[in-house]
Amino acid sequence: MAPIVRAVDLRKNFGDFAALQGITLDIAAGEVLCVIGPSGSGKSTFLRCINQLETVTGGALWVDGELVGYRRAGHKLHALSENEIARQRLKTGMVFQRFNLFPHLTVLENVTEGPLRVQRRPRDEVVTEARALLERVGLAHKSDSFPIDLSGGQQQRVAIARALAMRPKLMLFDEPTSALDPELVGEVLSVMRDLATSGMTMVVVTHELGFARDVATRVMFMDKGQIVETGVPAQVLSDPQHPRTREFISAVR
Ligand code: ADP
Ligand code: MG
């Protein structure tokens, strides 16, 4: 089966600064890839390239079999239009450190907004599915609340439900628990764990090494825009081969 994500010598420059310096990696369907690494190592940039919040400046990236940002016409590549990019972007759901819910919409409306307005799917179907998703993240009873009345952990669970409502092929998480009070981290990780068990393909940037150890199919350690080391959690987290990985893991622990 074709990988959900294929990066070949993926590069991203910001001016002269090389934030990603040649990332080559396949992510298979159903994989849960946890990305770890020091601040500034390019973790967010990697996710943002997959989700087309950044344009790639070198190498190539495929998501769900489609070349990101380009269309092939004979031997030529044409840059995609904004509309086509928006369509490609719908393949991925993204959850950020900050919850970014719409403050003026209820919890249920936050979840139905995208499927109704962007995907223009039938309201009955969308609402039924949204209620099921809220049930799944343990927030059915909060459907009519507004984000301001929820804890950070609850808001982040709504953000996950909202992303899932778009029926993405792939879910990206960028430090989803880093902004939460410690006692609220567990409930969000638990929802992510269930999602992983259900077979969703996930890329998770996290400092929660316990989660990575239990849930990841693979862990990738990045530093300075490069993949330093990748492997199963038992290897990368417990028996890292590279001194930089070792140093990072003992510092986070
Ligand atoms: P991480 O998520 O691992 O902390 P990032 O991917 O956010 O790292 O950033 C990687 C590097 O790219 C950092 O040095 C950061 O300052 C730089 N960077 C990220 N976004 C931009 C931008 N829009 N303009 C200039 N530099 C950026
Ligand atoms: Mg980051």
Q: Which atom of ligand 1 is nearest to the CA of 175?
A: 2
- Which amino acid, 215? V
Q: Is 206 in the pocket of ligand 1 (CB under 6 A)?
A: no
Q: What is the pTM of this model?
A: 0.96
Mean local confidence (pLDDT), 80-84 = 90
Report residue 217 CA to chain centroid gap. 15
Distance 49 CA to ligand 1 centre (A): 12
Q: What are phi and psi of 34, to 5 degrees?
A: -100, 130
Ligand lying closest to the C-alpha of residue 15: 1
Q: Is 19 in the pocket of ligand 1 (CB under 6 A)?
A: yes
**Which own/partner contact pairs does 144-147 have at CB distance under 8 Å and 24+ positions apart?**
144/106, 144/107, 144/108, 145/106, 145/107, 146/103, 146/104, 146/105, 146/106, 146/107, 147/99, 147/101, 147/102, 147/103, 147/105, 147/107, 147/110
Distance 53 CA to ligand 2 centre (A): 13
Q: Is 225 exposed, middle or buried (0-12, 13-18, 19+ CB in 10 A)?
A: buried
User: Is 161 in contact with 139 (CB distance < 8 Å)?
Assistant: yes
Instruction: Pick from 17, 35, 53, 96 the residue to mutate for probing ligand 1's pocket: most ligand atoms within 8 Å of its CB.
Output: 17
| Residue showing tokens 């950020």 | 96
pLDDT band at residue 69 using 50, 70 and 90 as cut-offs: confident
Instruction: Using a CB cutoff of 5 Å, list residues around ligand 2, an ion.
Output: 44
The counts of H helices and E strands in the chain are: 9, 12
pLDDT in tens, 137-183: 999 999 999 999 999 999 999 999 999 999 999 999 999 999 999 99
Q: Is 14 in the pocket of ligand 1 (CB under 6 A)?
A: yes
CA angle at residue 126 from 159 to 88, to 5 degrees? 65
pLDDT in tens, 88-134: 999 999 999 987 899 999 999 999 999 999 999 999 999 999 999 99
Ligand lying closest to the C-alpha of residue 21: 1
The pLDDT of residue 182: 94
This complex has an ipTM of 0.98
Distance 123 CA to ligand 2 centre (A): 36
Distance 188 CA to ligand 2 centre (A): 18
Rounded distance, CA 191 to CA 66, Å?
29
Q: Is 220 in the pocket of ligand 1 (CB under 6 A)?
A: no
